[in-house]
């Protein structure tokens, strides 16, 4: 699902990087994308009447309650059972975005299709890019986990050419933890970990705080805004699938 993360030197602020020194967790996964077919992913039920919020007149969209609390927790449990690999970078002085988080990368067309059909397909009914309509999600899906003190510096997400005439144009982040999670209600709320978008002058366009179950959509590639994942100051950031520990979002991208 996720797009590539392009590296840039600090002129426009660095972009994201891939390779860096890899520090593996006790239960770490390999760098290569895992095949997710054997995983028992939780069922993502179709959602009716999804609310779509456009942020400040931009192409940024948020969708509250895209996954339920139970679905988010189930994804976290599966991801933790697979094990995360630490992701680092050489840093701004070497032309790469600062990166410090944990990641799992899986390739699973069935999971991508299930997420697409749970409501993302309806959202893109009236959205097109250069006259092209979305047809699905990139089956390469990434789970990110941010623990206290971790962050992902300013970067852009690159578009991916899938080699069959289709190309990705959007990034989908799904917060598996954050406000509304079990730790939040027990007084152990996640602090920090906002996804922040910047304009060409470095001004803040939008700050999106992690809310469990919420999806965030933004254009990537040539029209991608510089953005970052702020440092997690307490507890763990929601998983991209962007929980309770601080998993960030799951990153997905659409195919046009």
**Tens digits of per-residue pLDDT, 95-110?**
788 899 899 999 999 9
Give percent of the chain with pLDDT exceeding 70: 72
Check pLDDT > 50 for residue 177: yes
Q: E strands of the chain, at which residues?
A: 4-6, 34-35, 53-54, 61-63, 85-87, 99-107, 128-129, 132-133, 136-137, 140-145, 151-158, 168-174, 191-192, 195-198, 204-208, 215-219, 226-229, 232-234, 247-255
Q: How far apart are CA 180 and CA 22, in angstroms?
A: 32
Structure pTM? Answer: 0.79
- The residue count of the chain comes to 256
Confidence of residue 179 (pLDDT cuts 50, 70, 90): confident
Q: Which of 15-29, 50-64, 143-157 has the lowest mean pLDDT?
A: 15-29
CA-CA distances (angstroms) from residue 197 to 205, 224, 228?
5, 10, 7
Confidence bin at 247 (pLDDT 50/70/90): low
Q: Which of 210, 203, 214, 251 is nearest to 230 (CA)?
A: 210
pLDDT of residue 27: 37
In the numeric block, the tokens 């309509």 are attached to 133
| Mean pLDDT, the chain, whole residue set | 77
pLDDT tens sequence across 184-213: 544 556 788 899 999 999 999 999 999 999
């Amino acid at each position: 699902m996720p797009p590539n993360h392009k590296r840039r030197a600090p002129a426009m602020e660095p972009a994201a990087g891939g390779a860096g020194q890899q520090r593996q967790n006790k239960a770490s996964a390999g760098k290569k994308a895992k095949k997710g077919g054997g995983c028992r992913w939780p069922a993502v039920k179709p959602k009716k009447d999804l609310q779509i919020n456009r942020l400040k007149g931009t192409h940024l969209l948020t969708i509250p309650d895209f996954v339920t609390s139970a679905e988010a927790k189930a994804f976290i449990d599966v991801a933790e059972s697979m094990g995360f690999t630490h992701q680092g970078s050489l840093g701004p002085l070497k032309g790469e975005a600062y990166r410090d988080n944990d990641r799992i990368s899986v390739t699973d067309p069935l999971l991508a299709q299930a997420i697409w059909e749970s409501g993302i397909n309806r959202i893109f009914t009236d959205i097109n890019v250069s006259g092209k309509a979305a047809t699905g999600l990139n089956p390469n899906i990434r789970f990110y986990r941010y623990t206290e003190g971790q962050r992902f510096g300013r970067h852009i997400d690159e578009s991916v050419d899938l080699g069959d005439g289709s190309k990705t144009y959007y990034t989908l982040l799904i917060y598996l933890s954050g406000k509304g999670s079990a730790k939040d209600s027990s007084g152990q709320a996640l602090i920090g970990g906002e996804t922040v978008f910047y304009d060409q002058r470095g001004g803040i366009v939008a700050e999106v705080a992690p809310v469990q179950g919420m999806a965030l959509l933004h254009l990537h590639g040539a029209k991608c805004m510089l953005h970052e994942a702020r440092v997690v100051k307490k507890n763990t950031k929601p998983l991209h699938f962007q929980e309770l520990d601080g998993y960030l979002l799951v990153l997905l991208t659409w195919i046009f």
